[in-house]
Each structure stands twice: as C-alpha cells, then as structure tokens.
A and B are shown apart, each in its own frame.
Chain A
C-alpha cells in the first residue's frame, strides 16, 4: 500500500485525487426488442497509481463500462471524468494493425500523441524493451505469438503515455502459462510506472492476483455489488494460498449474483 502513496506523490498528478471518476453512470441500449438497461447507477473512483479490477459474469456490462471510460461511447446518465486525458485501452484481441510492424504500431501511437519524428524510434525500442520484446521491432504482427502480440499491444498502449490504462480481458485468450507470465509483466510495469489501471475480467483469481482493489459487478443490470481491498503483497502468484483464499470468498459472491438470475 505504501508504494501506492509514494507513486502518487512523485507523479505529476500529485494534486489529482483520482485517475478516473465514474459517477452514477447508467447505460442502456435500445434495440428491436426494446430498451435494455446494461449499467445501472455505477459509481467508482480509481485513485492515481491504483490498480483496480472489475469482476463480473459474461455479459454484465464490463466492456460497456470500459468503452464509456475510454470515451468510445457516451453514458445514458451520469458522468465520467478522466483528469489525466484520454485513457489507453487494451482489448481482448490485440487490435494491432497488421499493415505495420510491431515497432511501427508503437510509433503510430507516439506520432498521434505528437512525439517528434526523431524520438519515435528510440522510444518505441525502449517500450519494446520494457515488455521484453527487444528484438521484435521489425516483426510483422502475424509473425508473433499470441502472448507476444498482447505484449506489443501493451507497449502500444503505454506509448500513449496516458495516466490511466484500461484493459478489457486482455489475457483471456491466452494459455495459462503465458497468462501467468503476462500477469507478472503487468505487475512489474505497473510498479515501475505511475500508471493507474482499470482491468476488467471474469476470472476471479486473475482479479485477485493483479489488483489492489476488486470491484464485483452484478448482472442485468450491472451494479457495483461489492468491493474488496486486496492486502496481499506483490509479487503474488496466482497459486498463492492467500490469493486462493480471497478468490474463494469472492467466487461465492459472484455465484450468488449469478444464482439470483436463475430464480425468476
């Protein structure tokens, strides 16, 4: 916990009290079958430098919420503030551009951010180094494995230099060992930077493995059902006993949320 405060203090955003503030946000979609309320009065703050995971069953509105925070869509009600500017967003699919090499994908993000041409290449190399893909600069996306693609995608997200990183189940499609490795990388990078992370997942252990705070969303409509602060020290492992213990507790609540829907 102490590290969090240290980060907030040394960051440029010391005055800011939050990296994201989601206030009374509701979102409904209207389709042919009528209007569907997906998110109902969700309020949530992410502190500068904080790592929060949002946990919920499939279809509970996690992606919808992240899209709102990313500014890709507007809430029906309520407001969302991200004082640090436009957040970076990582998807479950890598979403790298196949017409560019790994390095050029990162350079595009730098360019769109306004980084001078001469600085782009060294910065891209540094970011690839950061995700331990030093040799991948000239590689095409299809030449990389799934885990490598997600690491390049992470590097590209970091290239945006946002204070807030949104991650929408970015490791869900990876095999267990690769996912485990990427958990370690993400934790390391989060500790090395003063990034705030809002990470969405349906995987309870993943949520506990990564986060300082786990927020459980209910389904239909999505509401904040419960919150846990995770006091376990990093580096954690997904197999750690205390991770497992808290996961068990949270899983019981998640099951309870899901069970409610079978009752009517």
Chain B
C-alpha cells in the first residue's frame, strides 16, 4: 500500500514538474512598445505631413501663385488665432461648440445604446426599424436642420435634435453589428453557466460586443460633430452663443478669408483631438486587453 502511495506521489510531482515546464515554454511574452518607438512610428509621420502642407501653403502664397483674396497667408490665419487668444474668445468659442457636441453625443449615447440593443435582440424590432436605422446613416444630417428649426426655432433644442438624428443611428448600428459578431460559442458557454436573458445580455453579449460598439461610438462622435457644425453654420443667431460654426459663418459674412480658414482649421483640429484623446485610446485599450491588437 505504502509503496503504491509513494509511486503515485512521484508520478504526481512528475506531472506537476512537466506541467510547469510546458507552461514556462509556452508563456506568451507581452512587450510594451517603448516611447521612442511610438514617437518615431506614430508621431513623426503626421508631423511631417502637416509641416509639408504648411510649407506648400506658404510657397503658394509667397510665390504669388494664388491670389491673396483666394488663399490667405498662413501668417494671417495665425495672427487671427493669436488675436482670438489675446481677446480671450478662443477657448470660449471652442468650448461653446465642444460642450454642445459632447452633451449631444452623451444624449445620443443614452438613446442609441438601448435602441441598438433592442434592434439587435428583438427580431420584430429589427425587422421593423433595422433597415431604416442603417438607411438614416447615409442621410446627411444637414438635411435635418430646416425641419429642426421649424420645430424648435433657433435654440439648443434644435441643435441637439440635429446631433441626435445624426449620431443615434451610428451608435445603434455599431452596437447591432457588435452583437451580431459575438461568437456563438460565447453565447453557448454563457448559457451553460446560467447566463441567460438579461444576465446573458449583461455578462456575455454586451462585453463581447464592446469592440463593435466602440467603433460605433467613434463614428457617432464624428457624426455628432458634423451635425453640430452644420446646425451652427446654417442656423446662427446671437441667442445661441458664438460657436465654431458661427465663427465660420461670421467669417463669410464679413468676407474675412483668414477668419474662415481659421474656423475650418479649428473645427478640424477639435474633431481630431476628441477622437485622439478619448475614442482612440479607449478602443486601443479594449482591443489590447483582449489580445486583438498586435502592436
């Protein structure tokens, strides 16, 4: 008896050792990219591109290839920027639009998420409004400005309506395609553990759909921002406060070409900055934590 016992123990320890060896050999090493490499590969190329654009712009102006009334000098745009900064209006204008855009986006998030979930999970709802929802994505949101003005007049409600109509379909559709791409294996694994119904939705479907959902959010933000600018340009009114869209429209009214360029650049930069500061890191974090991002 004793001898078989020791034999078994030896065999067991043997197994543990073998297993430890296998685990060590198989271990996947996760390496973080050093900062220098990030700078070199991610920051340098766009910096060069921007510098090139500025250089070409300056050359076009200095060599008088274009007329000053058609293309302002970079320095004129820069002066406009400095002026706004000194007057203290720059941050105010940017904030007016950004706060509006983000508030509208959050509202779109609150509506688009349950809507997307409903479309994804309830067959009847999907058949009923699924096609409309994806069709709405191809409708330019500027088309909603006239009806929104007629419904609400020139106020924030009008702006938010336009943002919602632009962003909600993107967010909802992102969630729908995220849910559609959840591997059936996960659903079955969840069901065998008792994750059915709402529990299944919460513990399995939603986290599994997160990458698609985030892609939808990213697009939703782009749509929010675009819709807001359309609304601000078309429906400018002193009651609404000065946002970037109004800045652009004011530039046109005053035939202030540098001002128009400045406004366009600001709109572009803010749109990109929000994406780079909020959505891209979020998306990368999610993908990386799941091993879906190689870099």
Contacts and interface: CB of A to CB of B under 8 A. Distances in A.
Contacts of B252: none
Interface residues of A, number: 39
B27 A112 contact: no
A72 B289 contact: no
B19, B30, B204, B292 — most chain A CB neighbours (10 Å): B19
B23, B30, B186, B195 — most chain A CB neighbours (10 Å): B23
Interface string B172-204: 000000000000011011011111000100011
A145 B27 contact: yes
B193, B208, B290 — most chain A CB neighbours (10 Å): B193
Contacts of B291: 98, 140-143
Interface string A111-122: 011000000000
Contact of B192 (A86, A142, A145): A86
Main secondary structure of the interface of B (DSSP, over half): helix
B186 A97 contact: yes
B210 interface: yes
B44 interface: no
A89 interface: yes
A142 B15 contact: no
A8 interface: no
A226 interface: no
A148 interface: yes
A35 to B, nearest CB: 23
Contacts of A133: 23
Interface stretch (A14-22, A177-185, A213-221): A177-185
B22 A235 contact: no
A55 interface: no
A100 B207 CA distance: 9
A120 B27 CA distance: 26
A108 interface: yes
Interface in A68-116: 70-72, 86-89, 91, 93, 95, 97-100, 108-109, 112-113
Given A72-B192, A95-B189, A185 B30 contact: no
A-B residue pairs, 3 tightest by C-beta: A142-B291, A145-B26, A95-B189
Interface of B: 8, 11-12, 15-16, 18-20, 22-23, 26-28, 30, 185-186, 188-189, 191-195, 199, 203-204, 207-208, 210, 286, 289-292
